[in-house]
Amino acid sequence: MSNHLTIATVTETLRFLLDAAITPVLGGVTVSTGKPDAATQGDRTPRVNVFLYQAAHNPHWRGDDLPTRTSEGRLVHRPRAALELHYLISCYGEDATLDDQQLLALVVRTLHTHPCLSPDLIDAAVATHAFLRESNLAGERELVRFTPMQLSLEEMSKLWSVFYLTQYELSAAYAGGPVFIESDDTPISILPVLERNIHVLTVAAPTITGIEPSSGPGLPIVPGVQLVVTGRQLLAPPPRVSQVLVDGTPTPFDAQTATDTRLELAVLPTVRVGAHTLQVQHLIPMGRTTQPPPSQPPLHPAFESNLAGFVLQPQLLEPPLLSDVQGTGTSPRSATLHLSVDPPITEDQSATVTLISLADGTTLPPVAIAAGDNPRSVPIQGVPTGDYYVRVTVAGVDSPLTRDAAPNSPTFGLWAGPKVTFA
């Protein structure tokens, strides 16, 4: 791992490397790590200055530590930021003896011959400074390598222009990396894999083609009705197990009548009025079990069908009744309408009742129904005399109307109810 002293250690080790290579050749040369300074322009003493002007993300290693956390946000291993350090190495000296050019040649030769910072070199550089003694760069598995950067004249001019009142000196740019900085956070301890379970499955995903009530195609789906799910490969071959999910909740189906193309199930009482999703899932026993034989391994999802939808409609359990009818002659009537709605209306659902005239199909304005247990009493006012269909709307879903099923009836096949009469 590499701690917060990593960048400073790389800079000091680079300075140490250049100093050790230049001093035996040109004595009296100073290798520093400061900023290029205008105050030293008049001093032409031979020296080399190492300046870190940019720390950029290393493009090859920046995603090497991902992911560092689980989907629950727990740390699984320490995050490591991968950097690339950009250095400007400037050479100073007397123009008459071309000291700066001699120094630049020594810098290029040294970094071309020794481009990597070895652990021994890092340890030697760290030993000369007390503030770097906690550095652990020498233990990093990836060595820092220096490569020359090909800066254009324009790029070099822009770089030197940020140094106020400082004239250009003969320089070379180098990039060093990868440089890792690792977090001090302690990751969770993960147990080793106890055993490996490899399962090869043939692709046999279930497909749902339709959902209908058992009472017949096109008829409403109301509480208490059986759902018929049609499709392909609905039953999973052993040892797989089929499971039906309604809104993601496992729902039992009739295993006695189930076939590969047809499943039948009852709508659970907990299913509310409105739109719902249905899906068939194939489960496979996989993994270890803590119970003795013949217990089976736990079931895991293997294949899932497409999502199919159905709408559960409210219904009236009993014919609606009128009481306290008031009004005479041709004047509009007022009364109390008694309804038993299945499923019962809850507090978070909006519900209304609408009267539809059998004579001309006129629809009267809907009247709100309060939530609560059955029967519900709804005051109705301003209703002209006549027969009316009664339709309840809960959460935007209408209750169905019934048809006349008597073959010999003159109204066979027409709407028959539920209805009330205002006389």
**Token pair of 28, please?**
């009296």
Topology given in CATH for the domain delimited by 207-312: Immunoglobulin-like (2.60.40)
Check if the beta carbon of residue 7 is closer than 8 Å to that of residue 52: yes
> DSSP 3-state helix, strand, coil percentages of the chain (rounded to 5)?
15, 35, 50
Segments in the chain below pLDDT 70 = 1, 38-42, 65, 294
**Of 280, 397, 407, which is closest to residue 342 (Cα–Cα)?**
397
CA 57 – CA 18 distance, rounded (Å): 25
CA 365 – CA 342 distance, rounded (Å): 22
Same fold across 207-312 and 315-422: yes
Check if the beta carbon of residue 390 is closer than 8 Å to that of residue 397: no
**Of 124, 183, 172, 178, which is closest to residue 149 (Cα–Cα)?**
172
CATH number for region 6-182: 3.30.2000.10
**Token pair of 168, please?**
């250009």
pLDDT of residue 95: 86
For 29, 65, 238, the CA distances from 262, given in Å and listed in that order, are 90, 49, 18
Domains of the chain, by residue range, sit at: 6-182, 207-312, 315-422
CA 204 – CA 167 distance, rounded (Å): 75
Angle, in degrees to the nearest 10, between helices 6-22 and 99-113 = 120
Statement: 315-422 belongs to CATH 2.60.40: yes
DSSP annotation of 201 reads -
